[in-house]
Structure 1
Amino acid sequence: MHSAHPPSVTTIEVPFTPPFDWARLLSFIGGRASAGVESVEDGVYRRAIEWRGEEGVVEVMRHASRHRLIVAIDGAASRYADDIAAQLARMFDVEADARAIAGCLSRDPMLAPLVEAAPGLRVPGAWSGFELVVRTIVGQQVSVKGASTIMARIVQRAGRRIDGHADTRTAWRFPTPAELAAADLEKIGMPGKRVQAVQRFADAVATGALPIDTPGADVERIKRDLLALPGIGPWTVGYVAMRALRDRDAWPDADLVLMQAIARRDPALVKPAQQRAYTERWRPWRAYAAMHLWNEAAMKSGLARGG
């Protein structure tokens, strides 16, 4: 497997404790990937990155036989290989204790069959919290596919094509917060209020007011400050907390797919307040409970559902 990479590539193996559902993790990320910026193909996640001013391309795949992911970094950014691998380990949720999570969630008859069907389900992260929040705002009230279309337009309008980068799947750099805050997003296919929400958020990140991608930043404060921004409600904050802030107990409040899934299992639980009370039994792993319910909905419909 290593021989496929030229000598300029730095390869790091990132161990995980099974069970680890790589296929579903990759499929979730792939279904929501930013076109031109990142891609998922044939079991490989690929993205062009910039790390402390150095550029490169990362690839992540599962080892064919051992319990580890293989992270390959090509380009000057590879001098920071350890830091980049740590960020990818976070993104792919390798440190989750799947057995402890399953042990807790399986005690609830509502989730037990779902955990049994997908024991190593992880919460998919994101390479960039900033990018994920933008996508989440863009995706409000539109389909997963519709959000991808608008994201591609944002990338081409405000991002930057990487010079001499041959692979069209990863040839674009997602706009920086400052670039996106200043971009002209007229007629991009989004309501004016949503465009404003995206640009206000980008501005808050650009000025340092909202340190969404700063390691060690105060997660509770980020959640509060996000919620205070116009156009960002509790659902968005819960979803972002799950995926970008790595809050394992986050719950995307009032998510339609989750609400329907719970009510279908227990018709007594129809009101949001009743459902919220019920989810208490899934603490401290509510983000994983959400993934299990979304996963089941996606399997039933054959579509990317949730998020």
Structure 2
Amino acid sequence: MLAGMPPATFSEQLYFQAPLWPDNLFGHLIATAVPGVEEWRNGVYRRSLRLPRGVGIASLRPFPDHVACTLELSDSRDSASALDLCRFLLDLDADPLAVDAALSADPLLAPLVSAAPGRRVPRTVDGAEFAIRAVLGQQVSTKAARTHAARLVAAFGTPVGDLYLFPLSFDPAALAMPESRRRTMAALLDALESGLDLSPGADRAVAREWLSSLPGFGPWTVESILMRSLGDPDAFLPTDLGIRLAAEALGLPSTPAALVRRSEAWRPWRAYAVQHLWATGDHEVNRIPA
């Protein structure tokens, strides 16, 4: 049962333009999954969905030529919206040939692209949810961020079948984090309540300006939200430690300002360059669990 209603269940094959490199795509979703909201079980990634008319659960399994998608919906009229969210989450409408060709023009990136063609940018099904999670994850490890998020879900989440919706409204005072971070969260929640739109179709310039005006929102947090919530293919994270280490190892400039200058040649696909650079590190986000 979903939210007290008999669910409508159906399956669909989500096709994409090949190639698609699934390791970092599903690996990222699995490694950062919030317990209670998302799970990886028997080769299937599952998560709750907040939809126009109700709620749902999406189950996604990667195959070489498609992603198998099963949806459980409280209202069958949400089927098209749910499928769109799943496609956005997995960046399935990307043109990997165009992206790979552009990035391969840089001789230092070309070997990375050749080794893993068709990398996608892992995204989100709920922009506001991701922004809240980004604040929870500021200056802490991936494991700690998941722990903070899981506690928030346990306290304020809404049941959806055997999962929960991630809460978008709560008292920041309840968070076990520094007071400065609670102020940052309060500012974000106020902005969302006041109309900050972080959906895929939102105006990216407006969102970037609004986010940048919030206390505690530096370039890393802002660009991460633009990348994953709004699907900006050119979002870039030159201050990220993993990016800087990867750049230095490859012989790219490692200082943020110099790396930004070098990255001009990667436009408008710098978010994909970020995925390739992150993948040079040995981190669980880069692989699907056995």
Q: So what's the TM-score if we normalise by structure 2?
A: 0.90
- 8 Å CA contact 1:50–1:77 kept in 2: the answer is no
Is it true that 1:248 corresponds to 2:233 in the alignment? yes
Q: 1:185 aligns with which of 161, 170, 173?
A: 173
- 8 Å CA contact 2:58–2:71 kept in 1: the answer is yes
Question: Runs of 5+ in structure 1 lacking a partner?
Answer: 1-6
Alignment match, 1:194: 181
Q: 1:111 aligns with which of 103, 106, 109?
A: 109
Alignment match, 1:68: 66
- 8 Å CA contact 1:237–1:252 kept in 2: the answer is no
The Cα shift of 1:160 comes to 2.8
Separation in 2 of the partners of 1:50 and 1:278? Answer: 39
CA shift in 2, pair 1:85/1:123, >3 Å: same
Alignment match, 1:4: none
Alignment match, 2:10: 10
Identity of aligned residues (%): 35
The Cα shift of 1:157 comes to 2.2
The Cα shift of 1:108 comes to 1.2
The Cα shift of 1:72 comes to 1.4
Question: Runs of 5+ in structure 2 lacking a partner?
Answer: 1-6
Residues matched between the structures, number: 280
Alignment match, 2:39: 39
Which whole-Å deviations, capped at 9, do the CAs of 1:35-56 have from their partners, x for residues lacking one?
1011223332212223224232
Structure 1 residues 142-291: aligned runs within 5 Å: 142-162=140-160, 165=161, 167=162, 170=163, 172-176=164-168, 179-180=169-170, 183=171, 185-186=173-174, 188-208=175-195, 210-213=196-199, 216-266=201-251, 269-291=253-275
In the alignment, residue 138 of structure 1 is paired with which amino acid? Answer: L
SS of residue paired to 1:33: coil
CA shift in 2, pair 1:158/1:203, >3 Å: farther
The Cα shift of 1:138 comes to 1.3
In the alignment, residue 90 of structure 2 is paired with which amino acid? Answer: F
The Cα shift of 1:259 comes to 1.2
In the alignment, residue 278 of structure 2 is paired with which amino acid? Answer: W
In the alignment, residue 202 of structure 1 is paired with which amino acid? Answer: L
Higher RCO structure, 1 or 2 (CA under 8 Å, sep 6+): 2
Q: Which segment drifts farther, 247-256 or 33-42?
A: 33-42
